[in-house]
Amino acid sequence: MQTIRGFRDILPETIGLWQKVEKEAAHLFEAFGFKEIRIPVLEKTELFARSIGEATDIVEKEMYTFSDRNEDKLTLRPEATASIVRSYVQHKMYASDPVRKFFMIGPMFRRERPQKGRYRQFYQIDAEVFGIESAYIDSQMIFILNELFKRLGLAELSAHINSLGCPECRPKFQASLLQFLESKKERLCENCLRRMDKNPLRILDCKVLECKEALTDAPATLDHLCPACMNHFETVKRTLSEQGVDFIVDRSLVRGLDYYTRTAWEIQTTTLGAQSAVAGGGRYDGLVAELGGPPTPGIGFAIGFDRLVEVMEQITPPLEKSLDLFIVSLGDTAVEKAYLWSCDLNRNGVSTELDFRGKSMKALMKRADKLKAKYVLIAGENELAQNRVLLRNMTTTEQVSLTIEHLVPELIGIIKK
Ligand code: AMP
């Protein structure tokens, strides 16, 4: 049996980096006032169709959707924002305090064409803020991403930012975009032509090379911003500069989801080839109301955890976990004693390993070496007959004889010092 295409195991050999990122991210989010939220993996299809947008790649062709036994249409979550907004509205969180900050870490599912950095089950680290319209929060979200990546030792990254405007300035922009698209009609792919009526903004996100070339001079949202959006974007740029966060204004950045308004951004790396975006986010001031809540501004980002780890693998030597103690026990009595000591040591935070297969001293020492044990405890029949064991420090090769009377506390004292 094999995993399904685009799905993969994350094996213990690589889990160290995942855990390091999780710890660092949770620590940072908590310092900025974010609380962890856990949302279901499965939701009603309608939630994603309505929020991400019917005419997006995700909703049109990438969702894992199926009918439940009672014919309800369900979808494995392709992203977290929609579910977190649903949760905010469902639990009427806005009633007690509209300002909420959440983070979550977990798997997402999109039926994309798998390749390096692109999987059908992938992981995201997600952060969302509700109830704050101020542009300072936009800067802060980008600042947090920048800080997290800095702490993880990542350098070759750049923040691409753009403003997508608001319902006030969108219609003017759309009209000018449509006019431009009409003039390029014969060069656009079928998908783009189909989207011209439904959702022309999505055409700017088309990955087909021909379309990309045809769209190089396309009108930009930045040229159509209303004074309020312009002001908002200026504040974001000014504060990011003041905070020393490098960014590039990318007029062509539109992101692949429909709900974004005003600031949108992507953190890109030069080290991952085609899949260059390690994180993306933006403001979505209309989404809470769209999903049945009161008008509430929102903003969030998602980090591609798999890609982040792939970038880190290029710069971080593998984190090797070593073992505190290997117990070499020879003979049945010794094995039983070793078993009892090991449990006692483990619950006191000392990692141990032992062997129940009756192997020779030589084989066991070899295994201790392979497991990179810092200490080896040798409990042979002769030693035990005198109620003693030998403890060898594998770094210095020094050996001491210990009595078994208060062995566990004594070992803890030596090993944990
Ligand atoms: P999005 O939700 O599309 O804005 O994606 C946010 C981030 O998730 C992207 O910048 C990627 O790093 C990551 N991501 C999106 N799709 C995939 C995928 N299929 N496989 C791995 N990472 C992904």
180-199 pLDDT tens trace:
999 999 999 998 998 888 88
User: What pLDDT does residue 13 have?
Assistant: 85
H/E/C letters for each residue in 60-127?
Answer: HHHCCEEECCCCCEEEECCCCHHHHHHHHHHCCHHHHCCCEEEEEEEEEECCCCCECCECCEEEEEEE
In angstroms, the CA 39 to CA 401 distance is 54
Direct distance between the N- and C-terminal alpha carbons of the chain, in angstroms, rounded to an integer = 46
Burial 87-98 (b: 16+ CB within 10 A, else e): bbbeeebbeeeb
Q: Report percent pLDDT > 90 for the chain.
A: 83
User: What pLDDT does residue 195 have?
Assistant: 87
Question: Which residues does ligand 1 sit against, CB inside 6 Å?
Answer: 79, 110, 112, 117-119, 122, 124, 256, 277-280, 302, 304, 306-307
In angstroms, the CA 228 to CA 243 distance is 23
Amino acid present at 244: G
Average pLDDT, the chain: 94
pTM of structure: 0.92
- CA–centroid distance, 400 to ligand 1, in Å, is 55
Place of tokens 């952060």: 127
Whether residue 306 contacts residue 14, with contact meaning beta carbons closer than 8 Å, is answered with no
User: What pLDDT does residue 329 have?
Assistant: 95
- CA–centroid distance, 124 to ligand 1, in Å, is 7
pLDDT digits (tens, 9 = 90+) for 94-132: 999 999 999 999 999 999 999 999 999 999 999 999 999
Using 50, 70 and 90 to split pLDDT, how confident is the model at 201? confident
Any idea how long the chain is? 417
Angle between helix 407-415 and helix 332-347 axes, rounded to 10 deg: 50
Average pLDDT over residues 259-270: 93
Taking the CB of residue 274, how many other CB atoms lie within 10 A of it? 9
